[in-house]
Amino acid sequence: MSSTSTTSGTATTGGAQRLTALRDAGLVVHAPGSDAYDALVSGFNLDNAVSPAAVVEPADAHDVATVVRLGNELGFGVGVRLTGHGLSPALDDQVMVHTGTLSELHVDPDARRARVGAGVVWQQVLDAAAPYGLGAVAGSAPAVGVVGYTTGGGVSPVGRTYGLGIDRVRSFEVVTGDGSLREASAEEDPDLYWALRGGRGTAGIVTAVEIELVEQAELYAGSMFFDGADAPAVLRAWASWSAALPEAATTSLAFMRLPPLPTLPPPLAGRFTVGVRFAWTGSAQEGAEALAPLRAAATPVLDGIGPIPFAAFGAIHMDPVDPMPVVEDHTLLAELPDGAVDALLALAGPEAECPQIMVEVRQLGGAMRHGTDAAFAHRAAGFSVHSVGLAVPPVRDAALGHGAALVEAVRPWSTGGRLPNFATRGDADWYRAAYGETGVARLREVALAHDPRGVLAGTRALRAATD
């Protein structure tokens, strides 16, 4: 156990009892009003503010189990957070476990596996695997935590070759809502394993995962950008070209309206551009040949696609790393025919009044369609449409309205589904879109079996939405 933190802050009578119990258990606890508390509750999305009653920094998985057991005994809820990219359930008046201290990372190059603590982000795994010529099925933002990404399914920029992140998980170390520390795998507690593979935090607090690595030292990958005036030609070419790509290729396209920041490359800052992201897991020569038709669609204003080390994975999407306030919307498409292309251009193309900083279309499919049964319910989807706008007045309301209009415009081609890690919400409609009626029922059954008192924030949110 870790030593008690001397932190300042105020609390209600119940809150004071809670803090005392946590500290008496030997936990590092931060109360509202302390600098540590303020730093830990602030995640990547500054529009997603949380105000827990206290924040605990666990030294190990046993500390996490202690917090959850105390929650059962004293009647308080427990939530979890690391980077804060995804929306967390409401944590007000609950105790938040910040997993940043769970920093275990061990790579076994012979078995091509890694054991990864819940405080580890993808770039750390990529860097640790690189000396052995290995890579990982990471997300587009390597600064995101491995566990949060993976428990949401894990849609990767190399996913069409290597599948979803959950397809690479051998086992989870998890604290369930009854305060038990368990191992969940296909052989041991398969129902819990099912729920953790896509069900986010509804079935437990994951403290570590064992994942399979991939034997890949380099990629032919990166991003290239075209002038916004070429958006119709580029999107139409991309839709046709991507339909014929083999599983060695994973690609996405993004309409970007970036602010004029000095940190951005001059061809992108303060202008409308169209970015094409591309990752090829075969040879560089084959990758260049596969990309050639898209390169010929228009003249790029910036071309950054070429051979890269796998550890430079973040160059594919070039996602921002600094916290910012954003609002999102999202839907999944079965296909991307001409009508859907027209709808996207009408709302996000060069003639559109588009308040988003990004409207992205990701091609799915390939190896993501395969894999064993899991809470993740959208292997059959063909494309993801995702909008991101700044959550600052007066743009915030415009971005929210535009995102909803974008989802409605492509509804004729939509599956009705949503990826669990994209534009996460906590209402009943979101749960049905993320998991389907059958999936929600099974997820609820597993969660309540392990958390009958509803101590975990994920269980509470699921139960509140489905009661």
> Domains of the chain, with CATH numbers?
13-101 (3.30.43.10), 105-215 (3.30.465.10), 218-413 (3.40.462.20)
- pLDDT at 390 > cutoff 70: yes
- Looking at every residue in the chain, the average pLDDT score rounds to 93
Helix axes 338-348 and 231-243, enclosed angle (nearest 10): 150
In DSSP notation, 344-406 reads HHHHHSTTS----SEEEEEE--GGGG-S---S---TT--EEEEEEEE-STTHHHHHHHHHHHH
Q: What is the mean pLDDT of residues 4-30?
A: 70
CA distances from 255 to 263, 268, 394 (A): 19, 11, 21
How do residues 319-378 score in pLDDT, each as one tens digit?
988 888 999 999 999 999 999 999 999 999 999 999 999 999 999 999 999 999 999 999
pLDDT digits (tens, 9 = 90+) for 133-159: 999 999 999 999 999 999 999 999 999
Q: Who's near 110: CB < 8 A, 6+ residues apart? A: none
433/420 Cα distance (integer angstroms): 9
Q: Which amino acid is at 223?
A: S
- Integer Cα distance of 59 and 258 in angstroms: 40
Q: How far apart are CA 336 and CA 237, in angstroms?
A: 12
Q: How many helices (H) and strands (E) does the chain have?
A: 13, 17
Residue 161 CA to residue 136 CA, distance in Å, equals 12
Instruction: Report whether pLDDT(299) > 60.
Output: yes
What is each CA distance from 27 to 56, 215, 348, in whole angstroms?
7, 40, 49
Of 415, 421, 430, the C-alpha closest to 462 is 430
Per-residue confidence at 283, pLDDT binned at 50, 70, 90? Answer: very high
| 257 contact partners, CB below 8 Å, separation of at least 6 | 271, 272, 354, 356, 357, 358
Residue 4 has pLDDT above 70, yes or no: no
Q: 203-217 as b/e, with b when 16 or more CB fall inside 10 Å? A: bbbbbbbbbbbbebe
Max CA separation in the chain (angstroms): 68
pLDDT of residue 82: 87
**Residue at token pair 């201290």:** 101
Query: In 36-166, where do the E strands start and end?
Result: 54-57, 78-81, 95-98, 105-108, 113-117
Sheet containing 78-81: order of strands: 28-30, 54-57, 95-98, 78-81
pLDDT band with cut points at 50, 70 and 90 for residue 87: low
Torsion-angle region of 392 (φ positive above 0: left; ψ -120 to 50: alpha; else: beta): beta
Query: Residue 76: how many CB atoms within 10 A of its CB?
Result: 22
User: In angstroms, rounded to a whole number, what is the distance separating the alpha carbons of residues 355 and 120?
Assistant: 34
Strand partners, 226: 274, 300
Answer yes or no: pTM beyond 0.75. Answer: yes
Q: What is the pLDDT of residue 88?
A: 66
| Residue pLDDT, tens place only, 403-443 | 999 999 999 999 999 999 998 888 899 999 999 999 999 99
Instruction: Report yes or no: 198 and 419 within 8 Å, Cβ to Cβ.
Output: no
- What sign does the CA torsion over 146, 47, 100, 128 have? positive
Q: Backbone phi, then psi, for 52, in 5-degree steps?
A: -65, 160
Query: Higher model confidence: residue 59 or residue 2?
Result: 59
